[in-house]
Amino acid sequence: MVIDFAVKTFGLPEELKLSIHSGSDKFSIYDPIRELTQKHDKGFHLKTAGTTWLEEVIGLALAGGEALDFVKEIYGKALQNVEKLCAPYADVIDIDESQLPTAEEVKVWSNEDFANALRHIPGHPQYNPNLRQLVHVGYKLAAEQIDQYNSCSKSTPTL
């Protein structure tokens, strides 16, 4: 409704999207935003804190089991879509694709291996800034599987 008003009143583009900064409460607002988006047939841009997303992925990895499998799957899909995922962030990220482990390599990683590659600890031997940047922009892939993501997040103990 805000978008409709802005488009009509100010002559803004029809494809205008509402930008929402979710802050630290993002998980509780996903369902109501989805419902309103569908009800009113409107788009939005959800601004999340990238570091919070990365910490969530680390937590899922550390939980192991289904949650670890889920983040490995997200990484595999991100590898298949590097160009598409990185395009909107081309000016602010620098991924050396030759330094990204293959999906097959990651598939055999333990929960600690995945978390260590992702944690921002530059001196750690497993830290991989290229993987971290790719997972950072890969949040969209988790959003496409929101029910599975929410299921994994809800079953993950607080670390």
Q: What pTM, to 2 d.p., does this model score? A: 0.67
What pLDDT band is residue 42 in, cutting at 50, 70 and 90?
confident
Q: What is the pLDDT of residues 65-86, one digit of tens each?
A: 999 999 999 999 999 999 999 9
The answer to which of 7-21, 23-37, 95-109 has the lowest mean pLDDT is 23-37
Q: Closest Cα partner for 140 from 48, 72, 66, 60? A: 48
Chain centroid to CA 56: how far? 9
- Non-local CB neighbours of 66 within 8 Å, separated by 6+ positions: 151, 152, 155
For residues 52-68, give the mean pLDDT. Answer: 92
Chain centroid to CA 142: how far? 6
In whole angstroms, give the CA distance from residue 26 to residue 48: 7
* Tokens representing residue 151 in the block: 């299921």
Q: What is the pLDDT of residues 81-140, one digit of tens each?
A: 999 999 888 877 889 999 999 999 999 999 999 999 999 898 999 999 999 999 999 988
- Non-local CB neighbours of 113 within 8 Å, separated by 6+ positions: 126
For residue 97, the model assigns a pLDDT of 96
